[in-house]
Structures are given as C-alpha cells and as structure tokens.
Amino acid sequence: MARYANPEVLVETDWVLANMGKPGIKLVEIDVDTKAYDAGHIPGAVGFNWQTQLQDQVRRDIISKDAFEKLVSGAGISPNDTVILYGDNNNWFAAYGFWLFKIYGHKDVRLMNGGRVKWLNEKDKPLTTDVPKAAPVSYKAAAVNLELRAMLPQVFDAQKGGWNLVDVRSPDEFTGKVIAPPGMTETAQRGGHIPGAKSIPWSTAVNQDGTFKSPDELQSIYIQQKGVDPKKDTIAYCRIGERSSHTWFVLKYLLGLNNVKNYDGSWTEYGNVVAVPIEKG
Amino acid sequence: MDATGEIRNPNSEIPKKSEARMTKEKHQISPALGIRHSGLGLPSDFGFRISFVTLCFCGQILLYGDMNHQTRVYENVFEMMSSEENPTPLVRINRLNPTPEFQLYAKLEWMNPFGSVKDRPAWEMLRDLEERGEVGGARGIVEPTSGNTGISLAAMAKTRGYHMRAVVPNKVPLEKKVLLKIAGADLDVISDELCPAPGLGEGSINLAKTHAKASSHKYALPNQYENEKNVEAHFRTTGPEIWRQTEGKITHLFVSLGTCGTVSGTSKFLRSKNPGVKVIAVQPTEGHDVPGLRNVAQLGISKLFDSSLIDDILEVEFRLAYTRALELCQNEGLMAGPSSGLILEGALEIISRDKKGFGVMIFPDSIFKYTSNMMKHIPGLGAGTSA
C-alpha cells in the first residue's frame, strides 16, 4: 500500500496517550461545539475557541500575526514544540487550526487521526475537566504563508480554467437545494456552487471511526473517481472554511498535491457577492 | 375482546376468585412488611390490586404500593407506571381508517405518567442504575435526548433525589427544552449535525459521553441508544400489554424508529407469542424535522436496531407527520404528536396493501409539546392567534 505523502503530520490516539505530558508536546483542542472542551478534554490540552480566538473580532478575517502570536504564547507553545491538534466533527476546526499554524509558519504541527470522537470511544483514553495552567512564552511567528489561502479574485481567476475547484459541502448545499445546513447562522443570499467546481463532500475522506482513509483509497476517490488533476493548482471551499480546511489537509499533506489553497471566504462570501456567476443543480 | 371482535378494557374485568384471594393474602401480610395502605377504605376485591416492591440503591424499601388500578389511587407517581395490569389505552381509529376489515388501534403512550413512551425505558434504565449503586448522593445522570427520555429521566431522577443533565440538539422544539428545565434537568443545547459524516455520531451523544467520562464522579450515563434495558422495558411491558389488550389478535405492529428500543422489545415479545405478527417501522425522509425519529441513514448511532425484528421499513415524507397529526386531532379526538402522524400514514399504506388485519400503532407522545413545530409545518395554523 502506498504511504501518505507526508505521514508525519498524522498521529494516532495511542501515540498521543503515550506522549502526552512530555516536554515539547503540546495538545490543542479546537471544536465546532465550543462547549465540548469544558465538558472534558485530553489531560494537558488547551482549548482554542474558533469563534472568539481564531477569527478577527471586528472584520471578517483570520486572526492577525500579532493575535496569533499572543494566543499561542498564552498557551505556552514555543516555535520548536510539536503541536498536536484535535477536535470534534472529525477535526474540522482542528484542520482549520492546522491551516492557521501553517500560515504563520509553525514547523511541527500534526492532527490526531480520528479526532475527539475516536479518543472518546476508546476505553483507555482519559478525559478531564481540569484546565492546564500554561506558563506563557514569547512566541514569534516564523513566516506568513498567505499562499495557502485563496481570496475572491483568485476564485474568479480559477474559473477561467487550469485549476481544480473542489466544493466539499453536502450535496444539497452544492446543488442549491439548501443554502446552509439547518440552524446555521452564517449563510448566504443565494444557493448553488462556483461554476466548474466538483462536488466532493469532505466526509468522503474519512472512515466510520473518523480516521482518514488509506492513501490508496484517497488517491482513488479524489484523483481517479472525482477527477482532481494533480498537475493543476487547487482551491477547496465550503461554507465558512472549516470543512474545506479538512479537505485542504487531505489534498496537500496526505495526497501531496503541490499548490492547494483553502478559500475560507467560501460560500458565505461567494454566495453573497452581487452579480457573480453561480451554477445550480 | 368480546364476541363481536371488539376490545374490552381488561381493567373492567372482575378478577378471578383465586386472584382476589391472593391479593387479600398479600394484604394480610403487608403490615409486617411495613406496607402503607391508602386508608381510603377501598374494596380490596374491586379491580386489580398489585403489591409492588422496588428496592432503591441503598437497599431501603422505597416503594411499596398497594395499587388499585381501577380506582387509580396511588401512593406515589411510580406506581402509575404502565404494565400488563395497568396498560396505556388502545383506542380504535374510526374516521381515518377507510377499511373496516382492517381494525386499527392506537396505543396512547402519552398516558404514561411523564407523558410519553419514553417513561418505560427511562424507568427501566434508572432502576438498573439504582440497583447497581451507580447513582445517588452527588452522582446523578447525564443523557443525550431529543426531549422525551430526558423529561422522563429528569422527573424521575429529581423525585428520587439526584440530579440530571440533559444534552439536546438545538432542533428540539422549544416546548421540550422548557419542559426539561421544568422537570428539573440542567440543559446543554448543542448544534445539530452540520453535514453528513460517517461514524461521527451526534454531537449530543458525544457531549453526554464526554460528561460521563470526564466527570464520572458526577454522572452515570444511562445511554438509551446502547442500553439493553431500553429493549427489555418494552419486552416486559409494551409487548405483553398489547398481546393482552388484543387477546392475541394483533397481526400488524406499527412503530417509528428512534433509539429502536420500542420496536426491538415489542417485536421480540409479540413474535415470541406469534411469529406471524408483521412489524412495520415508519421512518421520515432524510433531512426531516420530526424530533426523536431517525431516518435509516441516521440509525448507525443506535446499537439497538435489529433489522431481523422488522418486516418492512416505510419511508414517509416527513411533512405528512404534521398533517396526519392534525387529522388525528380533528377527526379522532386523539391529540397525537407528529411521530404518531407519521406512523398513521405508514399504517394506512399497509392497510391499502394487506386489506385485512388487526393493527396496533404505538403513538409515542401527544401534540402538546409540538405547537411551535406544528405552526412551522402547517401553513396558516398560526394565523389569527394574536389580537
């Protein structure tokens, strides 16, 4: 069986159990459900709130370099630490956090395969409500890699050809039957998808236990079956950029595609823009 | 059932002499056991009188009722729990069933003391936890629920003296959330599933499991989705009740799917009596808005689903749950909730196929918790409701 292109970015739950608490290993939980961390988390893990800590609180944007440095410093994370990210919903926002750590140049960041639900369902894996007291450090971001991020003008350019556009939302969101999953507050004026996009829901990349599918399976799904061209640059998008972070991680790190960008503006930007082309069905 | 094929209320039967004698004998020994009598001077041989003992977790005799289900005078609310001797009613569907050769009855589960079919598994699971010493003192329970199980568990737990935390999906109607708080539950409301995901489970189940694992000193987890006591409750009560109420004439059982405890336990019992009983499960269409029910695609989460106990699974457009519930209210006088409406629609489909039979539908709860959902799905229902 083939190997993932970058196998070092994934760790298993057993590895985390064996290594948690060791110097240089820092655990960070990032959940869709912001109550989950308080209810229980892996001992020693800090919790980041995607709504209040990973987003600029004034304009719609990721946090600035300064804010990132402040957040990570407060969590006691040093540039040379190995950061293990995990979260609920099969690591949606953990993947978003991974993307953010990579934008700000953190060298060794990894996802816990299977995320929070796998840990929860394994009997030998403990949870605690104790919040660790991190000793603050002075973290300086190594770089700002904005090439990992797609902005709206690039999405327009991509429609001219030569790019893979991957829509990772549910089929009903892709066709325009619904604008957003029920109950979501972030939505759009119009439903549908970006012209030329392929529908490859994020969940096609994971097994029943929440772990990523094998390299061969991922290769078969994305390249052979769905027609993602590995020679082209790729933009992944969803509704607000968290599910597409998951697919961005799969395409860039597990399949090793060259230039993969996460369009975090996603449908809540594109579906609200006046006079842009939209496909339905 | 009498000679005309109609069902009599088994509670209206006078017990046989031997039953009455046995009951009296129990009365005679009861003072020595510290049994409390109602003191109302009710005739002991009128209707069913059942002596009932439940041991609580600390080994004390907590409940010892001398129950008369005919007069319906009880020493505490738990004596009202349904059983073969005290079944929830079966009521015939008249105006909405066009086929007289197929008798169709509804089992009104909202007549349970806490208002739904979920009283049965809640009570069974709670007693099991108590008997095993898993709850009491500072240790209460946490449960993922779409409302009904939580309401039953919260009311029962608070009455027994311990706390309950309910984790509910946001989609649950406001009425149920408020009722959970009224019943005494601490409430966690979380986002519904956002996008189809294999093996993800549901947020409410995962959060409840998290509480139970991270705060095991505070919470035991009944977990209706995996607890065999859920099935046993229906094997012990719902099935025998139906068998007795129909005098074994039942040919079709109609149920909805949620945790699958109802269908598994009831089907198992009825088939042990008559393997020919057809069990029809009715499920709403994918993306539905019928609280408590599951589409087959969502059933992976329930470990109690056993397809070998079901003959047919019908898929019904979920909005029909609401229109049929309205019809039940307005044509049969049965104030049935949307899941009951969905089951009726499924039953009518089978009746048009099978033509003859004797069907029982298990109606899980009443309409009172769903007025906001009814307004959402029945156009015009909200019109004229304000000055």
pLDDT value of position B19: 37
pLDDT value of position B25: 34
One-letter amino acid of A114 = G
pLDDT value of position B66: 60
To the nearest 10°, report the CA torsion of A101, A102, A108, A111.
Answer: 70
Residue B174: name the closest of B304, B338, B369 by CA: B369
Which chain B residue lies closest to A208 (C-alpha atoms)? B199
Q: According to CATH, where is 3.40.50.1100 located in chain B?
A: 90-114+228-377, 119-220
Query: Going from the N-terminus, what domains does chain A have, and what CATH number goes with each?
Result: 7-145 (3.40.250.10), 149-270 (3.40.250.10)
**A267 three-class SS:** helix
- CB pair distance less than 8 Å for B197 and A169: no
Residue A162 scores a pLDDT above 80:
yes
- CB pair distance less than 8 Å for B197 and A90: yes
- Which of A13, A31, A33 is most worth mutating to test chain B (most B CB atoms within 10 A of its CB)? A33
A275 pLDDT tier (thresholds 50, 70, 90): very high
pLDDT value of position B11: 38
Residue A235 scores a pLDDT above 70:
yes
Which chain A residue lies closest to B142 (C-alpha atoms)? A39
One-letter amino acid of A31 = D
Where are the extended beta strands (E) located within B84-203? 90-92, 102-108, 140-144, 164-169, 186-190
Strands B49-55 and B61-68: antiparallel
Q: What is the 8-class DSSP label of residue B351?
A: H
B113, B79 in Cβ contact below 8 A? no
Residue A253 and residue B230: Cα distance in Å, rounded? 45
Residues of B in contact with A201 (CB under 8 A): 195-196
What percent of chain A lies above the pLDDT cut of 90?
89
Residue numbers of A annotated as active site = 238
Q: Tell me how close the Cα of A156 comes to any Cα of chain B, in angstroms.
A: 26
Residue B176 and residue B214: Cα distance in Å, rounded? 27
pLDDT value of position A183: 67
- The top-level CATH class assigned to B119-220 is alpha beta
Residues of B in contact with A29 (CB under 8 A): none
For chain A, the maximum distance between any two Cα atoms, rounded to a whole number of angstroms, is: 55
Residue B347 and residue B256: Cα distance in Å, rounded? 11
Residue B120 and residue B262: Cα distance in Å, rounded? 9
- CB pair distance less than 8 Å for A35 and B170: no
Q: What is the pTM of this model?
A: 0.81
- Tell me the CATH number of domain B90-114+228-377, given options 3.10.20.600, 3.40.50.10800, 3.30.450.20, 3.40.50.1100: 3.40.50.1100
pLDDT value of position B32: 29
Q: What is the 8-class DSSP label of residue B63?
A: E
Residue A32: name the closest of A107, A123, A84, A94 by CA: A94
Average pLDDT over every residue of A3-29: 97
Indicate if ipTM > 0.90.
no
- CB pair distance less than 8 Å for B207 and A116: no
Residue B26 and residue B127: Cα distance in Å, rounded? 24
Angle at which helices B148-160 and B174-183 cross, to 10°: 10
Residues of A in contact with B195 (CB under 8 A): 169-170, 181, 201-203, 243
Angle value at C-alpha B263, between B257 and B269, nearest 5 degrees? 180
- Residue B372: both structure tokens together: 């906001």
- CB pair distance less than 8 Å for A170 and B196: yes
Instruction: Put the strands of the sheet holding B90-92 in their side by side order.
Output: B90-92, B102-108, B357-363, B252-256, B278-284, B312-316
- CB pair distance less than 8 Å for A32 and B194: yes
For chain B, 387 residues long, give each residue's pLDDT as a single digit of tens: 444 444 444 333 333 333 333 333 333 323 323 333 332 333 333 334 344 444 343 333 344 446 678 889 999 999 999 999 999 999 999 999 999 999 999 999 999 999 999 999 999 999 999 999 999 889 999 999 888 999 999 999 999 999 999 998 887 889 999 999 999 999 998 875 544 444 445 678 889 999 999 999 999 999 999 999 999 999 999 999 999 999 999 999 999 998 999 999 999 999 999 999 999 999 988 777 888 777 777 777 788 999 999 999 999 999 999 999 999 999 999 999 999 999 999 999 999 999 999 999 999 999 999 999 999 999 899 888 888
- Which of A203, A221, A238, A266 is most worth mutating to test chain B (most B CB atoms within 10 A of its CB)? A203
Q: List Cβ neighbours of B199 (8 Å cut-off, separation of 6 or more).
A: A117, A206, A207, A208, A209, A210, B300
Chain B residues with a Cβ under 8 Å from any Cβ in chain A: 170-171, 188, 190-201, 203, 206-207, 209-211, 213-215, 287, 289, 300
pLDDT digits (tens, 9 = 90+) for A76-115: 999 999 999 999 988 999 999 999 999 999 999 999 999 9
